[in-house]
């Protein structure tokens, strides 16, 4: 099956992350599956060292283009501070110009939890950030410019995403990582309770036709499977047994045209080889029709991120404010 991977990162060696650059990604893309396109999603890399603070994140888009001049990454999702409100337009225009036709939108990492045992994004700035009126105005600008919004929240924050989506029906929104259920800290030993809460939040979110859902990311330690601690990673059938009920439920709830499988690589690399992730996705979707499988493995993501010109021509350059 043809695959569009809508969620990959690049990393340089630092105290938190091991090197993973375009050559590493290219090797994984070619490992046993027909991955025909991939989307870079922001990871706070390459910010500009000088200049106005609000424009420093544009350096990440510049960094990706410099590292990947051949376009292995067909689309780029960057970062900007949504609290800028209307003033975010200058930053978005700079991203679009830096992206050379590949910039597609922003990711809001607003994952926040009251427990110190649960990682909180340094961009979250406290609970209920998505309810901030300044954020709402910034999202309106995204809509005017035809840009997308990725949202990384924890399962108990899905109500915020639902309110945002209802207020901005013209903005295409995708929620990362199944809506991120948790099995660490205060959520350890409460998987069924957490999944019930997750499903309630996703059911409400699925009513918003402008929202899509990424299926993946469960190799992250916060999901509590413990695969990262094993001497050998699990095989695809074990992964499919663990993920399958949730993945199939999400596809049924959102529909294949609003659900997209992802790798979340290399963030999931400590738990799973890249090839195993896609082996598992193929196992979990094998009962779908050919058209439905094509949607969740490729077509939905390609349309959302305007890859291969399936929806409309990609943005190339914005030279004046859009009204």
Q: At residue 323, does pLDDT exceed 80?
A: no
pLDDT reported for residue 313: 36
DSSP class per residue in 1-13: -EEEEEEE--B--
pLDDT at 106 exceeding the cut of 70: yes
Mean pLDDT computed over every residue of the chain: 93
Please state, in angstroms and rounded to a whole number, the distance separating the CA atoms of residues 75 and 192: 36
Q: What average pLDDT does the segment 148-167 reach? A: 97
Examine the pLDDT at 315 and tell me if it is beyond 60.
no
Lowest mean pLDDT among 104-108, 114-118, 306-310: 306-310
Binning pLDDT at 50, 70 and 90, where does residue 259 land?
very high
pLDDT of residue 141: 98
Residue 317 — pLDDT band, cuts 50, 70, 90?
Answer: very low
105 three-class SS: strand
State the average pLDDT over residues 89-101: 98
Paired residues of 261 in beta bridges: 215
- CA triple 127-140-162, angle to 5 deg: 45
pLDDT band at 16 (very low <50, low <70, confident <90, very high): confident
Closest by CA position to 221, among listed 178, 269, 164, 259:
269
Confidence tier at 320 by pLDDT (50, 70, 90): very low
- What does residue 226 show for φ and ψ, rounded to 5 degrees? 75, 10
Q: In this structure, are residues 179 and 221 in contact, taking their beta carbons and an 8 Å threshold?
A: no
d(CA 158, CA 316): 33
State mean pLDDT over 1-15.
91
- Per-residue pLDDT, 123: 85
CA distance linking residue 103 with residue 99, whole number of Å: 5
Cβ neighbours of residue 260 under 8 Å, at least 6 residues apart?
A: 4, 6, 174, 212, 213, 214, 215, 296, 300, 301, 304
Average pLDDT over every residue of 97-102: 97
The stretch 151-174 carries a mean pLDDT of: 97
Domains in the chain, ordered, with CATH?
2-304 (3.20.20.140)
pLDDT of residue 182: 95
Residue 1 CA to residue 137 CA, distance in Å, equals: 40
Cα distance from N-terminal residue to C-terminal residue, the chain = 41
Is the bond preceding residue 266 a cis peptide, omega within 30 degrees? yes
CB-count burial class (<10 Å; 0-12, 13-18, 19+) for 143: middle
Entry pTM: 0.93
CA-CA distances (angstroms) from residue 288 to 124, 253, 283? 37, 14, 10
279-299, pLDDT tens digit by residue? 999 999 999 999 999 999 999
Location of structure tokens 């990706």: 64
The answer to whether residues 192 and 125 touch, using CB atoms and an 8 Å cutoff, is no
Q: Is the dihedral of CA 102, 69, 297, 111 positive or negative?
A: negative
Q: Per-residue pLDDT averaged across 23-27, rounded?
A: 96
């Amino acid at each position: 099956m043809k695959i569009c991977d809508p969620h990959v990162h690049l990393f340089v060696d630092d105290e938190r992350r091991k090197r993973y650059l375009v050559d590493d990604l290219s090797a994984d893309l070619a490992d046993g599956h027909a991955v025909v396109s991939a989307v870079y999603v922001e990871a706070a890399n390459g910010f500009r060292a000088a200049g106005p603070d609000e424009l420093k994140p544009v350096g990440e888009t510049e960094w990706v283009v410099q590292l990947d001049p051949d376009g292995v990454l067909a689309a780029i999702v960057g970062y900007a501070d949504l609290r800028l409100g209307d003033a975010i337009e200058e930053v978005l225009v700079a991203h679009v110009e830096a992206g050379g036709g590949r910039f597609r939108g922003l990711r809001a990492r607003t994952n926040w939890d009251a427990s110190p045992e649960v990682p909180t994004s340094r961009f979250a700035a406290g609970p209920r950030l998505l309810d901030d009126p300044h954020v709402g105005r910034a999202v309106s600008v995204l809509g005017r410019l035809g840009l997308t919004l990725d949202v990384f929240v924890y399962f108990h924050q899905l109500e915020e995403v639902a309110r945002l989506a209802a207020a901005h029906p013209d903005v295409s929104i995708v929620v990362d990582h199944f809506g991120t259920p948790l099995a660490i800290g205060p959520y350890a030993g409460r998987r069924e309770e957490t999944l019930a809460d997750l499903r309630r939040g996703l059911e409400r979110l699925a009513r918003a036709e402008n929202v899509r859902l990424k299926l993946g990311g469960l190799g992250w330690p916060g999901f509590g499977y413990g695969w990262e601690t094993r001497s050998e990673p699990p095989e695809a059938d074990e992964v499919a047994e663990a993920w399958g009920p949730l993945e199939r439920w999400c596809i049924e709830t959102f529909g294949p045209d609003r659900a997209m499988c992802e790798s979340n690589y290399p963030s999931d690399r400590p738990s799973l080889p890249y090839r195993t992730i896609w082996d598992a996705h193929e196992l979990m979707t094998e009962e779908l029709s050919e058209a439905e499988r094509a949607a969740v493995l490729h077509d939905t993501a390609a349309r959302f991120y305007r890859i291969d010109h399936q929806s409309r021509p990609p943005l190339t350059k914005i030279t004046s404010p859009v009204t």
